[in-house]
């Protein structure tokens, strides 16, 4: 049998194929569509509030009665110091002026107006809503949260971008590790927001396999049967796809953004931190060219919260120069079929190989 059932049995699906969370791109409809394909959908809660998370979980349950994971951000929130306040003020003014010069009318929020949420308040929500699969990124959960979730029979899926991070997750009792390769689109799951591991995804997967004993999911560059089979040979028992679904019917991307995806070349896909303050892989544009190497990048999540209004304003104008489109290195045709059909086609092609 091609598919190992170690992960699929653990999470209650037929195929160990996981729809990537992709906060801001995925939708509850995408989660349900992945479930219809007998795969594991991922509901991206990110750093939403407990009330927002509860609403999304309940809305998803109305669309599917099958298992799905909820994904949260285990990120460190920097303390608000006088230096941060000063940098925020300067960055806000710079970005507002930049927007004005490019015919984008937007008022960015003051620091005092930002709502910064940690993941701790979501732990009780997850338990109360009887979510049995939790994936997380940007770090590791604290011991108390891990224990609390495990006491409620929740399966934990942590994200690593290095062997060191994988070992930390395993020692903490995390059930499954998602190995994120450098090829993957979107944010790096690194524990240190200012660090980008210099190891390629396939080499990383092979080494994590050699250093850990827990089941591994691989994320990064999977877009067809060949790439899926390649990572299976290196030890992956689960396969997370995100880039493959960016233009799907259920994607939150607008038609003009999907159209841009279909025209990109390899030189346009870069690692950047100017939109969010954390390294992420996406499409280069005028904004990144100006801001990426400037002094106007706040630490995550402050940069992310500050630029959110700018990105929304640019999106409303269909202005590709100032929207953030995350994308992985594997360029393909970006199908606009439903997520269900895209995943079923991937599974069928893999089984025919």
Give the three-class secondary structure for 198: coil
pTM of the predicted structure, to 2 decimals? 0.97
CA distance 245 to 333: 11
pLDDT of 173 reads 98
Per DSSP, the residues of 129-157 read TT--EEEEESS---HHHHHHHHHTT-EEE
SS3 content of the chain, % helix, strand, coil (to 5): 40, 15, 45
Q: Which class for 224: exposed (0-12), middle (13-18), buried (19 or more C-beta within 10 A)?
A: middle
Q: Show Cβ contacts of residue 312 under 8 Å, excluding neighbours closer than 6 positions.
A: none
Give the pair of three-digit tokens for residue 47.
């750093």
Q: Which is nearest to 251 in space by CA: 20, 27, 17, 19? A: 27
Q: Which is nearest to 138 in space by CA: 43, 291, 277? A: 277
Tally the residues of the chain.
353
CB-CB contact of 85 with 50 (8 Å):
no
| φ, ψ for residue 119, nearest 5 deg | -85, -15
CB-CB contact of 94 with 290 (8 Å):
no
Output the tens digit of pLDDT for each of the chain's 353 residues: 689 999 999 999 999 999 999 999 999 999 999 999 999 999 999 999 999 999 999 999 999 999 999 999 999 999 999 999 999 999 999 999 999 999 999 999 999 999 999 999 999 999 999 999 999 999 999 999 999 999 999 999 999 999 999 999 999 999 999 999 999 999 999 999 988 888 899 999 999 999 999 999 999 999 999 999 999 999 999 999 999 999 999 999 999 999 999 999 999 999 999 999 999 999 999 999 999 999 999 999 999 999 999 999 999 999 999 999 999 999 999 999 999 999 999 999 999 87
User: Which class does domain 1-77+116-248+333-353 fall in?
Assistant: alpha beta
The CA–CA distances, whole Å, from 330 to 181, 184, 266, 282 equal 12, 8, 8, 12
CA distance 160 to 98: 36
CA distance 261 to 164: 34
Q: Beta strands 269-272 and 280-283: pairing type?
A: antiparallel
| φ, ψ for residue 282, nearest 5 deg | -160, -165
Give the pair of three-digit tokens for residue 50.
């407990």
Delimit the CATH 3.20.20.70 region(s) of the chain. 1-77+116-248+333-353
- How many C-beta atoms lie closer than 10 Å to residue 263's C-beta? 8
Q: Which is nearest to 218 in space by CA: 258, 178, 276, 162? A: 178
Give the three-class secondary structure for 270: strand
């Amino acid at each position: 049998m091609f598919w190992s059932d170690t992960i699929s049995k653990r999470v209650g699906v037929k195929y160990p194929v996981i729809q990537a969370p992709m906060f801001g791109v995925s939708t509850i409809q995408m989660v349900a569509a992945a479930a219809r394909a007998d795969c594991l959908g991922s509901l991206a809660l990110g750093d939403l509030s407990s009330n927002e998370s509860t609403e999304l979980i309940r809305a998803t349950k109305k669309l599917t009665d099958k298992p799905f994971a909820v994904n949260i951000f285990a990120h460190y929130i920097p303390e608000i110091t006088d230096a941060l306040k000063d940098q925020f003020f300067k960055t806000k003014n710079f970005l507002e002026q930049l927007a004005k010069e490019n015919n984008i009318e937007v008022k960015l929020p003051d620091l005092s107006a930002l709502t910064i949420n940690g993941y701790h308040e979501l732990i009780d929500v997850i338990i109360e809503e009887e979510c049995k699969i939790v994936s997380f990124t940007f770090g590791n959960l604290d011991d108390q949260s891990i224990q609390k979730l495990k006491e409620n029979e929740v399966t934990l899926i942590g994200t690593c971008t290095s062997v060191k991070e994988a070992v930390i997750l395993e020692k903490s009792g995390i059930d499954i590790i998602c190995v994120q390769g450098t090829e993957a689109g979107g944010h790096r799951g690194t524990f240190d927001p200012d660090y980008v591991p210099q190891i390629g995804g396939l080499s990383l997967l092979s080494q994590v396999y050699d250093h850990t004993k827990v089941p591994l999911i691989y994320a990064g560059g999977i877009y067809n049967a060949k790439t899926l089979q390649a990572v299976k040979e290196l030890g992956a028992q689960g396969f997370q796809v995100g880039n493959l679904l960016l233009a799907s019917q259920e994607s939150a991307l607008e038609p003009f953004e999907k159209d841009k995806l279909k025209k990109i070349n390899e030189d346009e896909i870069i690692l950047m931190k100017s939109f969010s303050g954390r390294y992420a892989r996406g499409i280069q544009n005028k904004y990144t060219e100006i801001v990426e190497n400037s002094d106007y990048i706040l630490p995550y999540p402050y940069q992310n919260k500050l630029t959110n209004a700018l990105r929304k304003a640019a999106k409303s104008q269909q202005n590709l120069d100032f929207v953030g489109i995350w994308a992985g290195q594997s360029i393909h045709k970006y199908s606009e079929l439903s997520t269900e059909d895209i995943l079923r086609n991937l599974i069928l092609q893999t089984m025919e190989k």
